[in-house]
Structure 1
Amino acid sequence: MLENRTLTIASLLTAFFRPVLLTWLLTLCETGLVAIVPLFIGFAIDGLLKDSMDAYQHLGIVLALLMIIAVLRRIYDTRVYGAIRVEVGKTQIFRSDKVPVSTLNARLGMARELVDFLEQEIPTIMNSFVQIAVSLIVLYVFNPVLCNAALIATALVITLYAFCHRRFYRLNADHNQQSEQQVNILEQKSKHAVLEHLDKLRRIEISLSDTEACLYGLIFAVFFGFIAFNLWVAATGMETTVGTIFSIINYSWEFVEAALVIPMALQNWSRISEIIQRINKQD
């Protein structure tokens, strides 16, 4: 199925379009239900304060549907992406007659990351965009100022990531290059060589971790400022009920959770794009 294709995200989607599409549709259904839960909670709070059970019952229906779809999606996902991993591994083995065992061993693991990206990252990105869209609409309906604050925070976060992109790509390339040598180093049966190899991996991982820590520290500072601003506007600048304030804060927080996926996805794409180039080499 993949014998004559370059192993990329696009080629995997083309080869397994129907089963992947169904997993994504189930994911979107689940995400849509998750996105509206806080709104229904807010309605239920206001309804119960007025001795009305209607909104409370509607919340129960939404939660039941969410549970059913979430379970079905996870059962189906495991089978679909497990089959894709087998096909990708088989394709690599057939193409790797001239590739050293150490390199092939590392690239088999890297190719699984390609499928992991298809299984986990792309649905997560889809989920985040749905949640971002719903959150922006709800916040705009409550007060356009809340929506504008969210857009400004997102622009700042993307700008912060842009300064780190090349460093992430270079460090991931260094890590993958070192990983490809692992089996050959172990075959030397030299304790010094193994320790040196592990120390190089450690130093690269520390550099990656330090870069992530600094970047996400700045990102969290931006989003915490956004939450504080929206809380202040909701509590002091609007005529609202308790349920409305709850919904505003929940949708502001949901927006933050969804928007955090953007820099994480860009960082993972830096790693995957380097892996795609590496696993398609014939030597």
Structure 2
Amino acid sequence: MILRYLFINHKYSIVLTYFLTILENLLELLYPFVIGVTINELLKNRYGSLILLICMWLVHTITGVSRKIYDTRTFNSVYSHLVTLVVLEQNKQGIPKSQIIARSTLTREFVYFFERDIPEIISALFGFFGALVMLFIYDIQMGFYCLTLLIPLFIINHIYIGKSIELNRKLNDRLEDEVEILTDCKSEKVYQHYQSISKLRIYLSNAEAANYGLMELFSIILAVVILVRTLQLPGVKPGDIYAVISYLWNFLQSFSNIPFLVQQFSRLKDIGDRVKLKIS
């Protein structure tokens, strides 16, 4: 498995980037709570909590800048290693040059997975589990309301996964034929080729948009229920209201990237089936 191979051979540098990503997300998770406490303290003319907020903000900024700088160096090195391996191995297997060129480009998706998708997954998990735990702390009933959103989430994405796999397979079939079609350079074939690619990408985008739209409808309902419940909490303070709304927003935002991530997993699965490497 290519993903496993990449991780094993670059594990230390990759783990460090994810450590910084986790630290960054942990600090982001604490923001609503700290800001909520700060609001409540400021309303009492107490300013000491501002120091904690400022210090946390500075640490979060330094962590984010460090991660971005280190990520670029790490994953460009990973890509150079992988694409060289793919080209040489595919050539040994006697794969046509046109397909090797296409697959060397598609291989970039595996590096994107580590560089972009896993941090997105980490952020989504923090947004989901972290926000859910905090909402349970503020009110158990609100926590259970949030859990009900998992039912439509599962049903919608179960349907979406099958559609995404099928469309990505057809799209990658087209991309593998691209070099050969452009080499022949017959106007009708070139036109049909790009029309097909355009249609498939539109279908993928429409499927992703439909997934997102359906989830947003359920999110709106949940948001209204949580807001009403928050105002009914006994002794609720302005800072608490802010924190609950922020954690609710984080919880709902954790679902926003699911359609994109499902599509990426489908795309990687198909690319992995095409790019067979003899990895020891």
Q: Which of 6, 11, 32 is matched with 1:12 structurally? A: 6
Matched residue, 1:208: 204
Aligned residue type for 2:123: N
Contact 1:32 1:131 (C-alpha < 8 Å) held by counterparts: no
Task: Trace 1:12-91 onto structure 2 (pairs within 5 A).
Answer: 12-91=6-85
Deviations 1:103-146 (A, max 9, x none): 11211111101110111111221222123222112111111111
Matched residue, 1:190: 186
Percent identical among aligned pairs is 25
Quote the Cα distance in structure 1 between the aligned partners of 2:61 and 2:277. Answer: 43
- Flag the 1:177–1:231 CA change in 2: closer, same or farther, 3 A: same
Give the superposition deviation at 1:158.
Answer: 2.1
Instruction: State the TM-score, normalized to the length of structure 2.
Output: 0.94
Matched residue, 1:217: 213
The reply to whether residue 160 of structure 1 matches residue 153 of structure 2 is no
Give the superposition deviation at 1:182.
Answer: 0.8
Quote the Cα distance in structure 1 between the aligned partners of 2:160 and 2:6. Answer: 28
Contact 2:13 2:74 (C-alpha < 8 Å) held by counterparts: yes
Alignment partner of 2:107: what SS? helix
Contact 1:157 1:263 (C-alpha < 8 Å) held by counterparts: no
The reply to whether residue 127 of structure 1 matches residue 144 of structure 2 is no
Alignment partner of 1:280: what SS? coil
Alignment partner of 1:223: what SS? helix
Q: Which ranges in structure 2 are unaligned for 5 or more consecutive residues?
A: none
Give the superposition deviation at 1:154.
Answer: 2.5
Give the superposition deviation at 1:263.
Answer: 4.1
Quote the Cα distance in structure 2 between the aligned partners of 1:198 and 1:180. Answer: 13
Matched residue, 1:108: 104
Matched residue, 1:3: none
Instruction: State the TM-score, normalized to the length of structure 1.
Output: 0.93
Aligned residue type for 1:253: W
Aligned residue type for 1:66: H
Give the superposition deviation at 1:101.
Answer: 2.4
- Flag the 1:100–1:238 CA change in 2: closer, same or farther, 3 A: farther
Give the superposition deviation at 1:237.
Answer: 4.5
Q: Which of 133, 138, 141 is matched with 2:137 structurally? A: 141
Deviations 1:61-92 (A, max 9, x none): 11000000101111111111110000111001
Q: Which ranges in structure 1 are unaligned for 5 or more consecutive residues?
A: 1-5
Matched residue, 1:280: 276
- The CA RMSD measured in Å over matched residues stands at 1.5
Contact 1:158 1:263 (C-alpha < 8 Å) held by counterparts: no
Contact 1:154 1:259 (C-alpha < 8 Å) held by counterparts: no
Matched residue, 1:253: 249
Quote the Cα distance in structure 1 between the aligned partners of 2:152 and 2:234. Answer: 26
Contact 1:227 1:252 (C-alpha < 8 Å) held by counterparts: yes
Quote the Cα distance in structure 2 between the aligned partners of 1:158 and 1:138. Answer: 23
Quote the Cα distance in structure 2 between the aligned partners of 1:164 and 1:148. Answer: 26
Runs of 4 or more off by more than 4 Å in structure 1? Answer: none
Aligned residue type for 2:6: L
Give the superposition deviation at 1:20.
Answer: 0.6
Aligned residue type for 1:215: N
Give the superposition deviation at 1:231.
Answer: 0.7
The reply to whether residue 95 of structure 1 matches residue 61 of structure 2 is no
Give the superposition deviation at 1:266.
Answer: 2.5
